[in-house]
Chain A
Amino acid sequence: MTLSRRQTIALALGAAAAAAVPLPALAKIEEAIAAFTGGAAVGEGGITLTAPEIAENGNTVPVQVSAPGAVAILLVASGNPEPGICLARFGEGAGSQMFATRIRLASTQDVVAIAQMADGSFVRAASEVKVTIGGCGG
C-alpha cells in the first residue's frame, strides 16, 4: 500500500494530536488521584459509577457513585480544566456509601471514581461521557 503525500501528512497530524491532547490532562488527573491514594495500588470492582453515555448539556451531568464499605469516594474528571469534582467522606450515620450529584464537564471525557475502603485499599471505576455542549463557559 502506498500513501499519498496528503495521507501521510494527515496521519502524522492525527498521531501528533492523539499524543499531545490527553497527556497534560492525564498527568493532572493522575496527580489528583495520587494525592488521594498516597500512591497506593488501585484495584477494580466493588465500586459502581453511574453516568450517562451521552450528556447533551455539560453544565449539569447527573452521576451516581456507590461503593459499599467505602470510607471516602473521590470523583475526578480527565478533561476538565481542573480534575477535581468532589470528595465525599462517609460518617457513622451514613446508611450506605452512595451519593448522587450533578457535575460540569467541559468536553467528552472519562469520569473516574476512586473509593477508599475501610481496610485502606483503593478501587476505581471509570465511565466515558460524551458531551454535546461543554459546561465550563469557555
Chain B
Amino acid sequence: MAKDVKPRVRVPKSAKAGEVILIKTLISHPMESGQRKDSKGEVIPRSIINRFTAEMNGVMIVDMKLEPAISTNPYFEFEARIDAGGDMIFTWYDDDGSVYTDKQPVAVA
C-alpha cells in the first residue's frame, strides 16, 4: 500500500466557452517498478498507478494506461476543451485497488 498519496492538479479557474486550457497533474506515488531488489536481493513487488483518467461533465478528456516506466510521482500535462462550466474530475487507479480522485471546478466566463 502506497502511503501519503496526494494528488495535485493545476487547472485554470475559468475559461471562455470553447477555449482550450492546459491541465497539469501530479500525484505523489512511489511507482515501484517491480524491477528493483532490496538489500537481501529479493525483488520488491510492483506497486504502481496503472490508469489515469480526466473527465468533465461525463465527457472523457484523456484515459491513460500506465506501465512501470512512468517515473515516481507521475506527472501529466494535457489540454482540454471547455464547452460548459462544471467540475473536472481526475482519477488515479492504484495496483492495490485504491482509487484516488480530485475535483476542480472550471467556470465559463
| Residues of chain A with a CB closer than 8 A to B47's CB | none
Interface pair A103/B69, CB less than 8 Å apart: yes
Main DSSP-derived SS at the A contact region: strand
CA distance A89 to B75 in the complex (A): 16
Q: Count A/B pairs, Cβ under 8 Å.
A: 110
Closest chain B residue to A84 by CB distance?
B67
CB distance from A88 to the nearest CB of B (A): 5
For the complex, count residues of B whose C-beta is within 8 A of A: 33
Interface pair A137/B71, CB less than 8 Å apart: no
Main DSSP-derived SS at the B contact region: strand
From B68, B69, B81, A95 is in contact (CB under 8 Å) with B81
CA distance A80 to B77 in the complex (A): 23
Place the interface of chain A in its size category. Answer: 20 to 34
Interface pair A93/B56, CB less than 8 Å apart: yes
B63 at the interface (CB under 8 A from A): yes
Interface pair B79/A103, CB less than 8 Å apart: no
Task: Produce 1/0 per residue, A67-104, CB < 8 A to B.
Answer: 00000000001001110111111111111101111111
Q: Which 10 A-B pairs have the closest CB atoms?
A: A91-B60, A95-B20, A95-B79, A137-B36, A84-B67, A100-B77, A95-B81, A93-B61, A102-B71, A93-B59
Q: List 5 A-B contacts (CB under 8 A).
A: A86-B69, A93-B59, A93-B60, A100-B76, A137-B36
**Known contacts A89-B63, A95-B61, A98-B78; 4 further A-B pairs (Cβ under 8 A):** A81-B35, A87-B64, A91-B59, A95-B82
